[in-house]
Amino acid sequence: MKPLRITVTSAFGVEGLLRREMNRLGYVEHLAVGKGGVTFDGDWLDLARCNLMIRQGERVMAEVGSFPAADFDALFEGTKALPWEDWLGRDAAFPVTGKSVKSALFSVPDCQAIIKKAIVERLKRRWPQTDWLPETGPLYQVMFKITQDQVTVGLNSSGDGLHKRGWRKLGSQAPLKETLAAVVLTLSNWRPELPLTDPFCGSGTILIEAVRKALGMAPGLDRNFAAEAWPQMPADCWRQAREEARGAVRDMPDLRVEGYDIDPEVLSMARYHAKLAGVERYIHFQRRDIRDFRSAKKYGAVITNPAYGQRLGGAGEAAQLYKTMGQALAPLDTWSFYVLTAYPAFEEAFGRPATKNTKLFNGNLECRLYQYHGPRPS
C-alpha cells in the first residue's frame, strides 16, 4: 500500500498547538495545518504512535481520498472511484458519519446515504457474487468532511475519541474533556517543579492530565483503538509503539499537586480515577471551599474549570462565585491563574482584567481561558 495520508483532527483553534505537539514527537517536516487538524504522509507505525501519544488531538484518520463535489452525482461517483477494496474486507463494518461546511451539499444525512451506497457498489465489484455485505467484521468508521464543495473521506483509526484515555469509569456532571484539559495545560506553560492547585477540581481531570503529562505517560496507554482489529495493519506496529511509550515514563518522587472541591462525592470519584490512572500518590484531594484557599508557597499556579452560569443556578450565582474566587486568590500576588469558563463577564466578577484570554470550545460551547501571568519564579 502507498504511504498513508494521516490526519490528526482537533478542536477549532487548537491546530497550532497540535502541530507543536507533533513536532515534539518528531513529526517536523511536511505537516499541513488546516482547519480542524494536522495532516502528513506516514506509515502504520505513525498511525499507532499518534493514537497512543497525542494529547490534544481528537481522532487519527487514515485518508482514503479527496475530490470536488457540488452535487449528489459527483459525490456518488467520486466516492465510488476510491479504492475501498484496499481497506474494507467482505465482512467489514463501515458506518458513515460526517459534516458539511459552506458547501452546496449541506444535508449530512443525504450525504451519508450516498457515500454508503457508493462504497457498497464499489465493493460489489470486488465480490461480484455477493448480494449483501454482512458488516460483522472489524469496524472501519467512515468519516467525511465537505468544505466549500471539496470532499475528504477517511477512516477513523481511533474508534472512540482520543479524549477517552481509558481510566475514566464513572460519569460526572459536565466533565471536562481530557483533550481540552491538555490544551489548557499547554497554554498555561505549567512546569512540574511549580506548585499546582485546582480549587474546583471536580472529578480531577485537570490534575490527572497534568501529572500524567509530567510523568511522560502516553495518554492512550490504557485503552484500545479501532485499527488494532484492522487485518492490514501489522500488529507489530502497536507493540513497537507501546514499548516506546512505556519507555518514556519517568518517576518524579517530589511531584505533588493539589485539588479541592466542596462536593465529597466528586472528590471520591477524583480519587478513584487518579488510582485507575496510576497517579494517586502524586495528587492530594481535600474538601475545601474557595473562601478558605490559602498557600504559604511563594510561587504557584491555579488551573481550574469552575462552574459557570449553565451549571449554577444562573448568572447571579456565577458572578458571586467568581467575585469570591477573586478575593480568595488576591493575596497570592506572585502566583499565576488560568481559569476556563463560558461566563462572559468573568473578568468583571473576578475583579481584574486578564493578561490574556484565549477562545476555546468545550464541545459546542464557546469558552475563554483567562490567563493571569504572575512573575517568573526566581
**Domain coverage including residue 256:** 178-217+225-372
pLDDT in tens, 279-327: 999 999 999 999 999 999 999 999 999 986 555 556 688 899 999 999 9
Inside any domain, residue 169:
no
Contact 249, 296 (CB under 8 A): no
For residue 165, is it within any domain?
no
Q: Are 287 and 260 in contact (CB under 8 A)?
A: yes
Residues in the chain: 378
In a shared domain, residues 117 and 236? no
Same-domain status, 207 and 84: no
Same domain (yes/no): 189, 303: yes
Per the structure, the count of domains in the chain is 2
pLDDT per position as a tens digit, 169-184 = 776 665 799 999 999 9
Q: Which segment of 13-22, 306-315, 333-342 scores lowest on mean pLDDT? A: 306-315
Report DSSP state, residue 163.
Answer: T
Please provide the distance, in angstroms rounded to a whole number, between the alpha carbons at the two ends of the chain: 54
Count CB atoms within 10 A of the CB of residue 144: 22
What 3-state class would DSSP assign to 73?
helix
What is the edge-to-edge ordering of all strands in the sheet holding 356-362?
Answer: 283-287, 257-261, 196-198, 301-304, 336-341, 365-372, 356-362
Q: Does 69 lie in the same domain as 27?
A: yes
How crowded is the C-beta side of 124, counted as CA atoms within 13 Å?
A: 11
Strand partners, 67: 151
Do 152 and 241 share a domain, yes or no? no
Question: How is 264-316 classified by DSSP, letter by letter?
Answer: HHHHHHHHHHHHHTT-GGGEEEEE--GGG-----SS-EEEE----TTTSSSHH
Q: Are residues 131 and 193 in the same domain?
A: no
> 15 in a domain, yes or no?
yes
* Claim: this prediction has a pTM higher than 0.85: yes
In a domain, 327, yes or no: yes
Specify the CATH number for the domain of residue 258. Answer: 3.40.50.150
> What average pLDDT does the segment 260-268 reach?
95
Same-domain status, 192 and 327: yes
